[in-house]
Every structure is written in C-alpha cells, then in structure tokens.
Amino acid sequence: MFPAGIGQIARPSDLRGTGDPLEHPYRDAKQTVALVNAIQHYAVKQTRLGIPVLFHEEGLHGYAARDATSFPQALALASSWDPELLTRVFTIAGREIRARGVQMVLAPVVDVARDPRWGRIEETYGEDPYLVSRLGVAAIRGFQGDALPLGPGKVFATLKHMTGHGQPEGGTNVGPASISERTLREIFFPPFAAAIHSAHALNVMPSYNEIDGIPSHANYWLLHDILRGEMGFTGAVVSDYEGIEQLVTLHHVEPDFVHAAARALHAGVDSDLPDGAAYAKLPEALAQGLVTQEQIDTAVRRMLRMKFLAGLFENPYADARAAQAITNNAQARELALEAARKTTILLKNDGVLPLHNVKTLAVIGPNAAKVDLGGYSNVPAHTVSILEALQARAKVVTAEGVRITDEGDWYSDDVKLADRDANLARIKTAVEVARGADEIVLVIGSNSAVSREGWDKATHLGDRADIGLIAQQNELAQAMFALGKPVVVVLINGAPLSIPEVADEANALLEAWYPGQEGGTALAEILFGDVNPGGKLPLTVARSLGQLPMYYNQKPTAHRGYLFDTTQPLFPFGFGLSYTSFEIGAPQLSAPRIRAGDSVEVAVNVKNTGKVAGDEVVQLYLHDVVSSVTRPIKELKGFRRVTLAPGESKTVRFTLDREAFALWNQDMKRVVEPGAFEVMVGPNSVDLKTTTLDVTS
C-alpha cells in the first residue's frame, strides 16, 4: 500500500474489523510489538531512504490499549489538584506506550471546558485556565520528561485541541466556538502557551470547530500568528482525525481534498491523521500551483525532527517481553489506587461517613457492580467494582435498582435507554432488598454510552440536552430516601450532574467521576474511613440547565438574578469536604504595595483542627478592583494540596509575579495596570479571606 514508506501510523494496538474492543479484544502487548517491528523492518530495510515510522496511540488517562493500566478519567485526575500525581500517572502511561514501540501519544486534552452538556468534558481538566495549565504541564512532563531527545520510556505528548473546543455552541461536539479574541486570549490560549513554554510540548492538534467562520485546520492566524508567532512553538501540528477532510465534508469551505490539503498546509498543519487521505493529494496540489515545494519540505522537516528526537533512527524496534513485564505491574496498579483515592470528592456529609458498626449494607444502583472507565479506554487486565470491594469488607445485600442503558457503550453507535417499566420493577425489588439493611450506598450517575464524544451527527452522538440524572434514577433515589435509612450517594459519571433534590436529601454525597481500574477499592476505603477524601471540584456544578453557562470566573454583570430561582451553583468551583476540619488564615503579603512588574509573596497558614489526618487544597484567587476592560470577579492564581496530621499547621507560600496581574487591554496588549487588587485565599472559590494589594506605576 505504501511502497515509498509512510510517515506515521495510527494506533497499532487497534485491530481492524473487530469493532468494539469491549466486545472483541484488540491486540495485546506481544501482538502490537510484532506488528510494529514488522512495519519498522520493512520501512528501514526495504524502502529507498530507510526512514522509520512514527507511531501514535491514545493515552488520555492511561494507555488506551488491551491490558494497560487505566487510571481515573482526566476530569477525575483534575479533582486531585495535585500536579505531582499527574506527572507520576503519565510517567507510567508513557512507559507502557513506549514499551510497545510507540513514540507519540495524542494527549493531554488542555481544552478549558465551560459547558457540561458537552460529552467530552470528561476528557478535560476543568473550567479554569490556570488549573488546566498547571495540570497539563504536569502531564506532559510525565510523558516526555524534562529533556530532549526523549529518554527511555518517554513519548511525545500532543496538545489537544486548539482551540475553543470546550465551549461549543449548544454544548454539542464540533459546534462553532462563538468566542471573542479576548476570551480566547484570557481563557483558551493560556494552557497551550504554558505547555509550550514550561513543558516544551512539540505536538499540537487543531480543534474540529470553527472560530468566527474559520475552521481551526484552516486557521492561519491561529496556527501561525498565535501558535508559532506569539507562543514560539517550533514543533509539529498534527491534524485531528479527518480534520483536513472535514474542510470539505463538514465545513464546506473547500471543494475537494486537493484544495483542503493545500489550505491546511498553508495554515500550518504538518501531518494528516489518521491515514493521510487529504495529504495524499499534495502532489496534485503542487502540480496545480496551490502549494510550494518549500511548504512541503517544511512540514517534512518538522516530522523528521520528531523521529530524530525520538531516537527512532538508532532503535526503531520494541521488545515484547519487556512490554509485557512493565504493563500493569504492581507499581502501576498501586498508583492507580492512589490516584482513585486522591481524586474522590466529598460533597456532603451529615456525619454518616465514615461508615461504622454497619451490620448489613445495601449496595444499590446501576453503577455498583459495573466498572466504567470512561472515554478513550480499553480493557485493562484488572478492575474492581465498588460492589466487589464492599462485599469484601461487610455483609452486603444488593440490587441493580435501575438500568441506565440496555444497549450501547462509548464505542458503539447505537444507544438504547433502559425500558421504563422494567426499571420500575427493578426499583420495587431494590426497595425490598434495602428494607432490611442498616444503611444504603446508592451508586448512580451516568455511563460512557450517554455522555461521550459525539463524533458523527448522524451515527454517533454523545452530548446531552439536559444535565440531570436519566433512566428513572431519580425515582430510585426517592424510593431509597423514603425508607428512612441513612443513604450515601456515590456518583460515577463523566460530566457534572444537576441533582439538587438528591443532594438535598442524601446524608452524604461522593463524586468519584470514572475512578479507573482500582476505583472500587478506593471508594470502599473512603466509605469506611481508611482513607480521608481530599479532592476538589475542577469545575462548577450548576443547579439547572437554565443557569448555563456557569463558571466561577464570571464577569461582573453575569448571573444578576432570575425570577423564581437562584443564581447560586449547586456546588462551587474548588469545593470539597473532608472527614476532618481545617482553618485557613488570612493572606499575609510580603509588602502592601508593589510596582507594576514586580512580584509579591503571599503566605497562608493552614491548620488541621480536626481529629484525623487529611488533605486540604489551599487556593489563592485575585481580583482586579478597577480595570480598563472588564475582568472576572475572581481568578485562580495559585493552589497547593497539603497533608496535615491532627493539630498540625503549615505555612503555604505563593509568589504572584507580573503575569498574575496582567490583562489584555483595549488595544489587545498585555499590560499591568496600576490599582488595587484583592488577594483572596480559602478552601474553595467561595469561602475566602481577603486582603488588598496596591500596584503602583
């Protein structure tokens, strides 16, 4: 098929023609290495130039391949507010990927997510550009390390998706991003800039959507002026799958693949993924004068540089035995368990948790016995459900309660909601099962069939027109509450859910997102108090669909009020409780006044005032009191997760530099304006203590 060789091959662990890997397994480590080595041998030994092939795989929350370690989903990892944890997670993921002969991963997603209807919100690190930047940099350091060429066990990261992808019109995937240049610069550009400057990312993937009428794969201003010009990016721009072809088939801005290829190349796209269908037409585009040889050479040079920096010319082959030994080993499984512990968020607790002296525990709900890993997953070698983990430590009675779907998963096109009458019968059974128990653990939420990447508007949808529970889960919850027993609700889901009635009536509420292969064990440990939860929300949870868009860093005129309803979220950004209590002191400044361009240190004392050890995330926010252009009411500028024993205190220190105070002025220049700034610290974005800093000219 490719007598002159091919520059890049997509996902060698996939197995053509088998469809859903959850039903028909894809290649294991031995089979993947055999394929990779055979292709590399052909490319090196039997093509004219002997150039090895660059392979890529998916690694959103672990290597998305058979038997690999599956960590908590990206949104869950963000809930740890722990960059060091993400570096360790993606060190393991990168190691497993490289061991199978692959040099590049299509992760992390550094889209800032601002619409919970969007099925891909689970793939992100939340709604705040500073949090997304810090966690994105941490993930890249795990994948790539700190130096080039790539070291052993390292892979190139790919920044996804530039840009505006996380706030699509109507919350539907690939929808137009009706976003101003100012908002792009304030919210959506910073994670890409941070990844390039601080983590030396060498791959960027444009987004599918359009901005102001220009699809990102054809956006010269975005990929050249901003990315390569202002951000100083020197790596390769690789297309999203069929993104160049969609200039013809979806956006209708080019008549055919020849012109689409020419326009994408001119915009700055260097590689056409996954199979080069559009860039196969570049010889025709060259013959017609639509592109130049110099443009083609530039793209080739960038891709060849990647191969040299990956060490492919020295060693293009992989070792199957080494790959098998390192994949999902004891170290990886222990880290997956630690990650699940650190990413779970306690949203409510009236004292029922941790569980103690429970004779019979009813474990009810559609997500109790299942392990849903979320999007961009495969089949790991090992999983533990919450039901399995609780059965190992208590007398358990159980019932499904309701079923969310009768058919469908993340991969399959068709999704069928469960039959209502069958679910009502299941609820009756669950009531009888739970009636004799002392306490109830109700495991509800969503699954990866009903909130996912919608990659085709006709055959594969994934976004939601509402943000509440579906498939009679509310009826199940009310039936459990009506029994008059303590009810602990555990949410397993990929997108934040509007559940005000459930949150009001539950005795305790845990948000676990998709907690990965070891999630069941971690949740059982948390429920029984072996582990103290310390996760925090990386986004705002709205009370209702009508509140959207809802994010903490809103402008001063947003959410002024509704007739007959509140503008307050169900749970605010940065929120999360603990089994202990903490006292966070007022911010102490190293100086009450600084000159524009200088830095100031902020010291914050935090003390564990409770009776058990626990983690707190100290959060620092900034507000520009008076500015020449409107600014958010508060912006996250620092955070630190600390572990404290009972009675222990620590002083956390932050440095606010010039960039923390800067804004894009009316002329779209990055400046620091003199004036007063409120410096706020606390355990979330609402419960804050404030002092004022004066910035002078």
Catalytic center residues: 240
Residue 279 CB coordination number (10 Å):
25
Nearest 5°: phi and psi at 313? Answer: -70, -30
Counts of helices then strands in the chain (DSSP H, E): 19, 27
Backbone angles phi, psi at 104, to 5 degrees: -145, 145
What is the C-alpha separation between 584 and 379, in angstroms, rounded? 43
Which residue has tokens 């992989």?
318
The burial of 277, by beta-carbon neighbours within 10 Å (0-12 exposed, 13-18 middle, 19 or more buried), is given as middle
Phi, psi of 624 (to 5 degrees): -80, 110
Bridging pattern class, strands 635-644 and 670-671: unpaired
Q: Identity (one letter) of the amino acid at 149?
A: P
Whether residue 332 contacts residue 419, with contact meaning beta carbons closer than 8 Å, is answered with no
Please give the Cα distance from 26 to 229 (Å, whole number). Answer: 41
Using DSSP's 3-state secondary structure scheme, residue 183 falls into: helix
Judged on CB neighbours under 10 Å (0-12, 13-18, 19+), 474 is: middle
CA nearest neighbour of 409 among 121, 70, 57, 19: 19
Alpha helices in 82-184 (DSSP H): 83-99, 129-144, 181-183
- The whole-angstrom separation of Cα 509 and Cα 344 is 11
With a CB cutoff of 8 Å and minimum separation 6, the contacts of 444 are 365, 366, 367, 401, 469, 473, 476, 477, 489, 490, 491, 492, 502
Q: At what angle do helices 257-267 and 293-309 cross, to 10 degrees?
A: 70
Give Cα 483 distance to the centre of its chain. Answer: 37
In this structure, what token pair is assigned to residue 148? 């080039």
User: Six-digit token pair at 243?
Assistant: 């993104």
3-state secondary structure 240-270: CCCCCCHHHHCCCCCCCHHHHHHHHHHHCCC
Q: Of 112, 85, 150, nearest to 342 (Cα)?
A: 85
526: nearest Cα among 614, 609, 607, 608 = 614
392 CB neighbour count, 10 Å cutoff: 12
Cβ within 8 Å of residue 572, ≥6 positions away: 537, 540, 541, 552, 684, 685, 686
Residue-wise DSSP of 574-623: T--B-SS-EEEPPPEES-SEEETT--EEEEEEEEE-SSS-EEEEEEEEEE
Decide: 129 and 191 in contact? Cβ < 8 Å. Answer: yes
